Structure 1
Amino acid sequence: MVLARNLRQVFSPNAWDYHQELVENYRGVIRIDGLLGEKQLYIYDPKSLHQILVKDQDIFEEPAYVIKGTRVSFGEGLLSTLGEQHRKQRKILNPVFSVAHLRQMVPIFFDVGKRLRAALEARVQQGPREIDLLVWMTRTALELIGQAGLGHRFDDLVTDEVPAYIRSAKEMQTTMHKMYLAARYIMPHVANIGSPKFRRFVVNLIPWKTLHDGRDIVDTMYGTAVDIYNIKKKALETGDEAVKGRIEGKDLISVLMKDNSNASSDDRLSENEIIAQLNTLLFAATDTTSSALSRTLHVLAQRPDVQEKLRQEIRSARHEGDELSYNDLESLEYLDAVCRETLRLYPPVAFVVRTVRQDVALTTSTPITVNGSPVTEIPVPAETGIFVSILSANRNPAVWGPDVLEWKPERWLSPLPQSVIDAKVPGIYANLMTFIGGGRACIGFKFSQLEMKVVLCLLVERFKFSLSDKEISWSMGSIAVPSVDGNKHQLPLKVELAA
């Protein structure tokens, strides 16, 4: 099925209904006309997704404009490398995100979470109050990745002052959206012209404010990453005692730098690559986690029955003191169900893109009508653009059933439908595409899950969340974000101490 002139609808900030219409009206592989007659496919069929992300992942790669744009913004990290370089980086990063290492992160997460809880308590001691929880979730997500990921404190989580890094990160999303067409059609052709100094000279000459805003944002974020790296490097060079203290040098980057120094020359990452990992991790972990936490609190505010049931589970599980162990957190079945269901119905990232590097035959789970005939194998020419729809894969009624659009944590408390098992969705988490799958799946998904559970435990146990009188809508964008009046990014909810 050919859908003409609808690329703008796919990328619209209010595209939720349009993406749902695609699922309701068409099977799992849909042809979309791009600009200048480009070939595009919108895909949520499970078997096709497995081929794209797992079986033939080297044929279906990130487009050049994504790789080069990400490299310009963050350096040569996981999100901006391909092939063997990407595999080498992932090999040395994988142990950092192991369960064994994450267990050691739990006290750090609780320390940050308790500072957030104290800040909210101070603001509602005199009674219920409307609070913009988006900014607090973003500040908390930054501090969590700062402390546990980088061994660096960004925010005391006491005053109302927002760290400069958060302002830059939020501005970057808006700026990237404004520059999409330039990044898509110009970046691949100019990113390698001349030296970096020459390209910077050209950028400075071009009279385009948005471009200059992007330049300044990248400078702030990259400068932050370099400063942190230099501090860590100096500490490690002076011996383990220098990195000990409250986090004892167990943050992800400290461990990565130690492992990297002991790696073989073939596996070792360069200094620029480590800085790029730091820069990428800092940005990606902050916005995706804050989006997921904000969405969960928004949904809980709409469902006081679920909120109360979750509160009772948390209170029943807590032993003496405030902190739960890693195993305690994993045993909270209803909390896990709430997280899974939120990430199923409301993934922070709606889709990712790929480009076909060579002619290939794409297989489908069910027949697709092509030129009037049903087929399960579709010839796809090289250079075809691919939209891997995380949102539509998670909301596929053929997989999840007729109640697919209902936020229903209880679906996770009993065996999943056979249709979910049979679909063999290639995601790495809970039969979902939220963290995608294959060799480019989100390396930090367990880290993110742990963050969410710790923060929700501390907040839901202590506070009751309810809707304010302001209408909240969610913009899709590169990462889903709540808004008031259509353009002001915030999540105003009424917060009060729970009985």
Structure 2
Amino acid sequence: MDGVLYNYVSLLFVLFICSYIVKTITKKLFSYRTGVRVQHPPSPPALPIIGHLHLLVGSSFSKTIHSLATRHGPVLQLYMGASTCILVSSADFAKEILKTQELNFVSRPEFAYSNYSIYFGSDFTFAPYGTHWRFLKKLCMTRLLSTSQLNQFIPIREQEIMKLLEYLISVSREEESCDLGTPLTTLMNNVICRTAMSTSLSDNNTDEAKKIKELVEEMQVAGEMLCVGDILGPLGKFDLLGYGRKLKKAIGKFDQLVENIMKKHEDQNETGEIRSGQGKDLMDVLLETSNDPSAEVKLTRKDVKAFFLDLFFAGTNTSSVAMKWAIAELINHPQVYKKLRQEIQSVVGHSRLIKESDVQNLPYLQAVVKETLRLHPPTITTIRQSSEDCKINGFYLMAKSRVIINLYSIMRDPSNWNNPDEFIPERFMANSDDLNSNLDFMEMKGQNFDYLPFGSGRRACPGASLALTMIHATVGALVQCFDWKVKDGELVDMREASGFGISMEMANPLVCYPVTKFNPFKKVTDAVDGAAGMSTTKQNHDCKNQEIKSN
């Protein structure tokens, strides 16, 4: 048995070496096919076979690629085993790719996990640029994630923020600590579940939202590992570590779960039943579109379910992680925290909770969020693939070149940002002397190529408005209602997690003690207590807090 295993591993290793040699020879021949040697982007010193892999391990991915860009330049060609990519780390190069030659780079490459996804060809995030993708993008902008659609769900977002505050007040009352990341992830998961398909973790009749949350987390881990597996080239298809099977199984469970929710919606729409007094959710809109005989593109059930998977992948973890970074930065910068609370109190007052409509009158809150997204972007990179041979500022790129836009380094470029590694929200205020002041509140659409927290162009994040709305309202409420303490008065550990995840997680959980400064429930509680002393309502309220806490 040991001999068979040895022969199997040896064969795979030989195949890997052969694929690497063939790829190298092919590249050399291509360079001279016209009789003139083309100029490829420069590369750092590489090792045989593994290429630059040794330069990409040991630290967080964001720090690693930032270090490479700082030491070797704004555009690099990197070899990662059998995979090659172009790392772009300057605003000028990014503008050339994302604007000047956008149509050549409007598609995204396929990764190994595509082989294990039943939604391959139906998903929105990695779909090739064409009729199907353009139809879904138009649907997002005009209906699914339009301003009017998002405004319809303001009550849902307000309710979920109130649930978050209720939980944290109960933690504060007990003088306990909490890992803030957990309730923030639950908040975003609930908001997306309720707006997308009218279900949430707090629904007593279903645990659909909880299952979705667990499956999405499982798929994220498996998908990231399969992307890393691309370094094996053809060997990646052998699924040596089993992550392909794990991903396929998780997607199958997700598919069945969403199928059941779709059937419920279809039954309710057929009978005219109204869910919780709200209007159409995103599932209703997509089902309506899929049944529209005049629609430009006929959406299948698989297309609908693939869209929801993309929505959970892109929306849940990225937004909650951004909120964590914002609170962590504010804890470590008490003067900024104090200034922000004073602004909220001066605009909102002392008797009510901040609302989404207040944000436009809170420029310092906007500046805090912008600065958080600059230092800790929702995604570290954005990836494109060229459809044709081209030149970028003199460097030759072959068709199907994978290009990684290094958003992390672009937004920390010292030639564009003063003190780029410092948390300074004032740089975004109107009276700032910083090189990048005066970016409008909604100017996060990628037209300033030194500030790209949500990407740029046709492939920019379509859910940016929802993310910004939730981040502003939640961070504002957490600052208005609480002081935050960490153990023994220490600062928050701002190290970034290692690994190759698309979002920039913190290395350690954000464990802190909430200290209530403003209780939005207090007026209601006081009125009940005054009328009935130790009322049953207050006891139920405390019990509910304990229930939330246990969940």
Q: Same fold (TM over 0.5)?
A: yes
- The verdict on how the C-alpha distance between 1:289 and 1:2 changes in structure 2, with shifts beyond 3 A counting, is same
Structure 2 match to 1:370: none
Summarize deviations over 1:218-270 as a string: whole Å, max 9, x none: 2333333323322223323333xx23434333x33333444554573323422
Structure 1 residue 49, shift from structure 2 partner? 1.5
SS in 2 for 1:40: strand
1:92 aligns with 2:139: yes
Kindly report which structure 2 residues correspond to 1:290-309, keeping only aligned pairs within 5 A, or say none: 290-309=320-339
Equivalent in 243, 255, 276 of residue 274 of structure 2: 243
- The verdict on how the C-alpha distance between 1:349 and 1:69 changes in structure 2, with shifts beyond 3 A counting, is farther
One-letter amino acid of the structure 1 residue matched with residue 452 of structure 2: M
SS in 1 for 2:296: coil
Structure 1 match to 2:539: none
Give the Cα–Cα distance (whole angstroms) in 1 for the partners of residues 455 and 482 of structure 2. 33
Equivalent in 201, 222, 225 of residue 255 of structure 2: 222
Structure 2 match to 1:22: 68
**Aligned residues of 1:337 and 1:409 also touching (Cα < 8 A):** yes
Give the Cα–Cα distance (whole angstroms) in 2 for the partners of residues 331 and 263 of structure 1. 45
* TM-score normalised by the chain length of structure 1: 0.81
Structure 1 match to 2:505: 481
One-letter amino acid of the structure 2 residue matched with residue 77 of structure 1: D
Summarize deviations over 1:50-109 as a string: whole Å, max 9, x none: 232234334223112268369546771211311222111111121222223322322211
1:111 aligns with 2:159: yes
SS in 2 for 1:83: coil
1:151 aligns with 2:198: yes
Give the Cα–Cα distance (whole angstroms) in 2 for the partners of residues 425 and 31 of structure 1. 29
One-letter amino acid of the structure 1 residue matched with residue 140 of structure 2: L
* TM-score normalised by the chain length of structure 2: 0.74
Give the Cα–Cα distance (whole angstroms) in 1 for the partners of residues 231 and 84 of structure 2. 14
SS in 2 for 1:236: helix
Give the Cα–Cα distance (whole angstroms) in 2 for the partners of residues 238 and 12 of structure 1. 57
One-letter amino acid of the structure 2 residue matched with residue 414 of structure 1: A
**Aligned residues of 2:383 and 2:403 also touching (Cα < 8 A):** yes
Return the structure number with greater relative CO, CA threshold 8 A, min gap 6.
1
- The verdict on how the C-alpha distance between 1:114 and 1:188 changes in structure 2, with shifts beyond 3 A counting, is farther
Give the Cα–Cα distance (whole angstroms) in 2 for the partners of residues 379 and 302 of structure 1. 45
- Segments of structure 1 that go 5 or more residues without pairing to the other structure are 191-202, 364-376, 485-489
Structure 1 residue 380, shift from structure 2 partner? 1.5
One-letter amino acid of the structure 2 residue matched with residue 18 of structure 1: T
| Mean CA deviation greater in 263-272 or 347-356 | 263-272
1:180 aligns with 2:248: no
Give the Cα–Cα distance (whole angstroms) in 2 for the partners of residues 135 and 267 of structure 1. 39
Give the Cα–Cα distance (whole angstroms) in 2 for the partners of residues 295 and 467 of structure 1. 14
1:137 aligns with 2:184: yes
1:332 aligns with 2:350: no
Structure 2 match to 1:83: 129
Structure 2 match to 1:497: 516
| Mean CA deviation greater in 118-127 or 217-226 | 217-226
**Aligned residues of 1:400 and 1:417 also touching (Cα < 8 A):** no
Structure 1 residue 411, shift from structure 2 partner? 0.6
**Aligned residues of 1:68 and 1:188 also touching (Cα < 8 A):** no
**Aligned residues of 1:428 and 1:435 also touching (Cα < 8 A):** no
One-letter amino acid of the structure 2 residue matched with residue 287 of structure 1: N
Structure 2 match to 1:408: 424
What is the root-mean-square deviation of aligned Cα atoms in Å?
3.4
- The verdict on how the C-alpha distance between 1:138 and 1:468 changes in structure 2, with shifts beyond 3 A counting, is same
- The verdict on how the C-alpha distance between 1:121 and 1:270 changes in structure 2, with shifts beyond 3 A counting, is same
Kindly report which structure 2 residues correspond to 1:447-458, keeping only aligned pairs within 5 A, or say none: 447-458=466-477
SS in 2 for 1:145: helix
| Percentage of pairs with the same residue | 20
Structure 1 residue 319, shift from structure 2 partner? 6.0
Structure 1 residue 181, shift from structure 2 partner? 4.1
SS in 2 for 1:32: strand
Equivalent in 304, 308, 318 of residue 274 of structure 1: 304
Give the Cα–Cα distance (whole angstroms) in 2 for the partners of residues 255 and 287 of structure 1. 24
Summarize deviations over 1:419-466 as a string: whole Å, max 9, x none: 549999982589621110111110000000111122122222111113
**Aligned residues of 2:381 and 2:406 also touching (Cα < 8 A):** yes
- The verdict on how the C-alpha distance between 1:135 and 1:31 changes in structure 2, with shifts beyond 3 A counting, is same
Structure 1 residue 11, shift from structure 2 partner? 6.4
**Aligned residues of 2:268 and 2:274 also touching (Cα < 8 A):** yes
Give the Cα–Cα distance (whole angstroms) in 2 for the partners of residues 118 and 69 of structure 1. 44
- The verdict on how the C-alpha distance between 1:320 and 1:245 changes in structure 2, with shifts beyond 3 A counting, is farther
Give the Cα–Cα distance (whole angstroms) in 2 for the partners of residues 258 and 244 of structure 1. 16
Higher-Rg structure is 2
Structure 2 match to 1:372: none
SS in 1 for 2:415: helix
1:121 aligns with 2:140: no
Structure 1 residue 170, shift from structure 2 partner? 2.7
**Aligned residues of 1:356 and 1:381 also touching (Cα < 8 A):** yes
SS in 2 for 1:79: coil
Structure 2 match to 1:51: 96
Kindly report which structure 2 residues correspond to 1:360-399, keeping only aligned pairs within 5 A, or say none: 360-363=390-393, 377-399=394-416
Summarize deviations over 1:283-324 as a string: whole Å, max 9, x none: 321111111111111112212222222222223332697455
**Aligned residues of 1:68 and 1:80 also touching (Cα < 8 A):** no
One-letter amino acid of the structure 2 residue matched with residue 65 of structure 1: F
**Aligned residues of 2:169 and 2:516 also touching (Cα < 8 A):** yes
**Aligned residues of 1:472 and 1:483 also touching (Cα < 8 A):** yes
SS in 1 for 2:410: helix
Higher strand share: 1
One-letter amino acid of the structure 2 residue matched with residue 172 of structure 1: M
Summarize deviations over 1:326-355 as a string: whole Å, max 9, x none: 432222111111111000011131113223
One-letter amino acid of the structure 1 residue matched with residue 147 of structure 2: V
**Aligned residues of 2:113 and 2:223 also touching (Cα < 8 A):** no
